[in-house]
Structure 1
Amino acid sequence: MPKEEVEVLIEGGKADPGPPLGPALGPLGVNIQEVVEEINRKTKDFKGMEVPVKIIVDTETREFEVKVGSPPTSAIIKSELGIDKGAHEPRHETVGDLSMEQVIKIAKMKFDDLLSYDLKTAAKEILGTCGSMGVTVEGKDPKEVQKEIDEGKWDDLFEKYEEEEE
C-alpha cells in the first residue's frame, strides 16, 4: 500500500480545488472535491486562520485521510480578539478581554493538541496562554479565573459545553 502525503497550509473552511490542492492531488487520482469538502468540514472552526493540513493518499485504493493541525493557541486568541499581537509586558499591559465562553471554545478547538484530560484543564491551559499575552478573561487576571474554575464557579458553563459534545 504505497501512500503519498501532501502537506498544505489552508485558510480554515476555505479550501478549494485550485492551487495548492488541485495540482498536488490530481496526479494521485483522488476525488479532489471530496478532499476539499473533508478539509473544509474539519477546518470550519479555524475561519480566517491558516491551518496546516496533511492529506494521506493510498495510491492503490485512492482512499484518503485528512489530518488537520491547529494554529498556535496564541494565534487563535489573537483571532478571537481581532488583535495582531499580545502585550509587550503581559502582567502590566492588557491587550484584550475574552469571555469564558470564548476560552472554552478555544479549549475545544485545541483539545487534541493539549495535554489535558478534560475541558476544565484544557481551559486552564488556554488561560495560561492568555496570561502570557496580556489578555484578561471576564475582566480578570487569568490566574484568578483558573482559581474560580478550581472552586467550581464555572461548572454550569463547562457542563453545558460538555453536553453539546455528547
Structure 2
Amino acid sequence: MSKLKSAKKGVEKVIHSTPLRIWIGAGVAQPGPPLGPQLGQRGINIAQFCKDFNERTKDVKPGTPLPCTISVKADRSYDIQIRVPPISYFIRQATGQARLAMDQSQETAGILSLKHVYEIAQVKSKDPLYDCVPLKKICEEIIEEAFHCGVKVVDRIDEHKYMDFMKQRQEIVAKQLKELEDLKQSKLLRTA
C-alpha cells in the first residue's frame, strides 16, 4: 500500500486542456479584457505574457491581427505559436480597401494584380499552417479568397483606372454604411 502512495506522489500532474486560440494585435497586447480574463482563467501570468508577446512581435506593424495558439503547461508556463495574419487581411492591405464586398456577385471591392498574389503567397508560405504547401497551391487559395471577398484578380493594374475605381468605391462604401446605420437605428427604435 505504501508503494502505491509513493508511486502516486512520483507521477507528474498532467493537465489536458485544449490550447487557447486567440487573435492578438501585434505589439499591443494588454492585460485588460478580452485577453486578460482568458489568460487568467488558465493561470498564466498576464503581465509577463503581454511583455513576451509584445517583444516577439515588435518587428510586425503594430495592431496587425495575429492568430495565436497558446498551450498551457502544468507548471503554468506556456508555449505560444504566432502565425501570419489571414489572407483577407493581406487582400485588404493590397487593395487599399478598409471594407470588402458585402455581396461579391454584384459588386467589385478592389483589384489585385498577380504580382500582389505572389507576394502574399510568399509571406503566407512562412506560416506554420502552410508548411510544405507548394507556392502554386497558396496562390490558388489567395485567388479563391479574393473572389469570395469581391476582389478581381488581373494581370496588371492601370494606375489611373484604379484611382477612378477607388473614388467610385468610396461613394459606394459611404452609401452602404449609411444604409447599415439607418437599419441599425430603425431596429433600435423598434426595441425601445
Read off the aligned partner of 2:15 and give its amino acid letter. Answer: P
User: Which structure's CA Rg is the greater one?
Assistant: 2
Match of 1:162 in 2: none
Contact in 2 for aligned 1:8/1:20 (Cα 8 Å)? no
**TM-score (norm. length: structure 2):** 0.50
Shift of the alpha carbon at 1:46? 7.3
CA shift in 2, pair 1:29/1:22, >3 Å = same
The alignment covers a number of residue pairs equal to 137
Given candidates 12, 30, 35, the residue that maps to 1:16 is 30
- Using the TM superposition, name which of 14-23 and 116-125 deviates more: 116-125
Identity across aligned pairs (percent)? Answer: 26
**Aligned: 1:130 with 2:146:** yes
Q: Which secondary structure does the structure 2 equivalent of 1:85 belong to?
A: coil
Gaps of 5+ in 2: 1-13, 158-192
Offset of residue 139 of structure 1 = 1.8
Q: TM-score if structure 1 supplies the norm length?
A: 0.56
Alignment of 1:28-39 (within 5 A): 28-39=42-53
SS at match of 2:80: strand
Q: Deviations over 1:61-96 (max 9, x none)?
A: 222112346654234312332311147348x95722
Instruction: Pick one of 55, 66, 69 that aligns with 1:54.
Output: 69
Query: 2:94–2:112: 8 Å Cα contact kept in structure 1?
Result: no
Residue 152 of structure 1 corresponds to none
Please give the root-mean-square deviation of Cα atoms over the aligned residues, in Å. Answer: 3.8
Tell me whether 1:96 sits opposite 2:96 in the alignment. no
For structure 1, which runs of at least 5 residues remain unmatched after alignment? 141-166
Cα separation, 2, equivalents of 1:36 and 1:64:
12
